[in-house]
Amino acid sequence: MTTTLTILGAIIGNKTIMAIFAALIGGLGLYVAGGINRAKKEAAKQAAEKFAAAQDRLEMDREATGAERAARDLPDEAARQEAMRWAKR
């Protein structure tokens, strides 16, 4: 036990070894912080993509609803032609 404490005391007292140890711990901290930052950026990017997709769906629904309202007042043949125009998109 005494020898272990002596060795540990010698390591702690050595400024070079402590500087290397501090650099390793600092590098590990930066690596972990970078990983967290990358994960946050990826989550924000995915949220933006989902939001854009939801806006696109909403706009398509609005367009389809407008076309459906317009098609209600059309005669059968004109309604079929309008439906075929939308089906080809």
Range of 45's domain? 2-87
7 Cβ neighbours under 8 A, 6+ residues apart: none
83 Cβ neighbours under 8 A, 6+ residues apart: 71
Q: Are 37 and 56 in contact (CB under 8 A)?
A: no
Tell me how many domains the chain contains: 1
Residue 82 structure tokens: 């309008």
- Residues 43-81 have pLDDT tens digits of 999 999 999 999 998 888 887 777 676 667 767 777 778
pTM of the model: 0.48
